[in-house]
Amino acid sequence: MSSAGRFAPSPSGELHVGNLRTAILAWLFARSTGRRFLLRVEDLDRARAGAEAEQLRDLLAIGITWDGDVVRQTARGTLYDEAISRLTGAGLTYECFCTRREIQDAPSAPHAPQGAYPGTCRNFDPAELEFKRSTRPAATRLRADVAEYTVRDLLHGSYTGLVDDFVLRRNDGVTAYNLAVVVDDAEQGIDQVVRGDDLLPSTPRQALLATLLNIPVPEYVHVPLVVNADGVRLAKRDGAVTLRDLAEAGLPADAVRDTLLESLGLPAGPLERAMAAFDPVALPREPWVWTGVDSARR
């Protein structure tokens, strides 16, 4: 299978200019390196009816095209189950019965970093396990044998982050994002992951998981986010930030695309033209500040 990049939105609502800018970058990175570009809808959680269609429409409106069919995570449960079974077969998972509250209130394990799962359910003996199973459904956690893991990122260099016994499947049966993303990227032949740098802290977990599953770790490229005037990651409440809002404010999709390209130091116009000028080394490394429609090219 030839190599590929991807964009993997969660269909929780309309995309905003920050998501669109990341999508453009993912497209540029993939296409400029001769990769296929795939679209995966991450609908395991947070899906809102109608959002997927709006997101695809908006991606097309700014010139983003993808190869093959759109893939939806909700149709891929068997792949996730198989991966979890493989890990379980290798002794790398355990059942966890903790509520969020119990985890918050538990004393943290000695030397464990802040926020790490304290390991409450890690070493139950068979009798304890049997009793716990009678109380409530279990989540499945990874039995991680390291507390941190290092990844390489094209823009960030070497990055070391926390790894704990993170959840692979929630106790309501929903596959966790960290497991699904790793399984999907591998199964789809994705060897280049371009996404917002808010996900950099999750990357050591994902790379460890890939390694434990004996699948290749992709090249990571975590790109700067779009932020509001206060320096906070852009969100819907920041005003007119979706293509629909901006069209109502007099800014058509082409103008939004051009604004986003210029914020990246790239020529306005069709994405193919930007691709000819695209140089990862020259990309801005700072977040881009969106100050409303005034940020945009008119």
> Which residues are at the interface with ligand GLU (CB under 6 A)?
8-10, 42, 181, 195, 199
* 260: CB partners within 8 A, 6+ apart: 17, 20, 21, 24, 62
Q: Which residue, 139 or 194, has its beta carbon nearer to ligand GLU?
A: 194
Paired tokens of 69: 């069919």
Other C-beta atoms within 10 Å of 123: how many?
A: 10
Q: What is the closest distance, in whole angstroms, from the C-beta atom of residue 218 to ligand GLU in the complex? A: 10
Q: What is the closest distance, in whole angstroms, from the C-beta atom of residue 7 to ligand GLU in the complex? A: 7
**Closest Cα to residue 164, out of 108, 237, 243, 244?**
108
Q: Which residue, 45 or 245, has its beta carbon nearer to ligand GLU?
A: 45
Q: What is the closest distance, in whole angstroms, from the C-beta atom of residue 19 to ligand GLU in the complex? A: 7
Q: What is the closest distance, in whole angstroms, from the C-beta atom of residue 42 to ligand GLU in the complex? A: 4
Contact present, 26 and 32 (Cβ < 8 Å): no
**Closest Cα to residue 6, out of 40, 41, 52?**
40
Cα R_g (the chain), whole angstroms: 21
Q: What is the closest distance, in whole angstroms, from the C-beta atom of residue 271 to ligand GLU in the complex? A: 19
* 186: CB partners within 8 A, 6+ apart: 210, 213, 215, 216
**Closest Cα to residue 240, out of 226, 227, 225, 251?**
251
Q: What are phi and psi of 140, to 5 degrees?
A: -110, 125
Q: Which residue, 216 or 250, has its beta carbon nearer to ligand GLU?
A: 216
Q: Which residue, 119 or 218, has its beta carbon nearer to ligand GLU?
A: 218
Q: Which residue, 169 or 195, has its beta carbon nearer to ligand GLU?
A: 195
Q: Which residue, 9 or 118, has its beta carbon nearer to ligand GLU?
A: 9
Q: What is the closest distance, in whole angstroms, from the C-beta atom of residue 22 to ligand GLU in the complex? A: 8
Where does 187-249 show beta strands of DSSP type E? 192-196, 219-223, 226-227
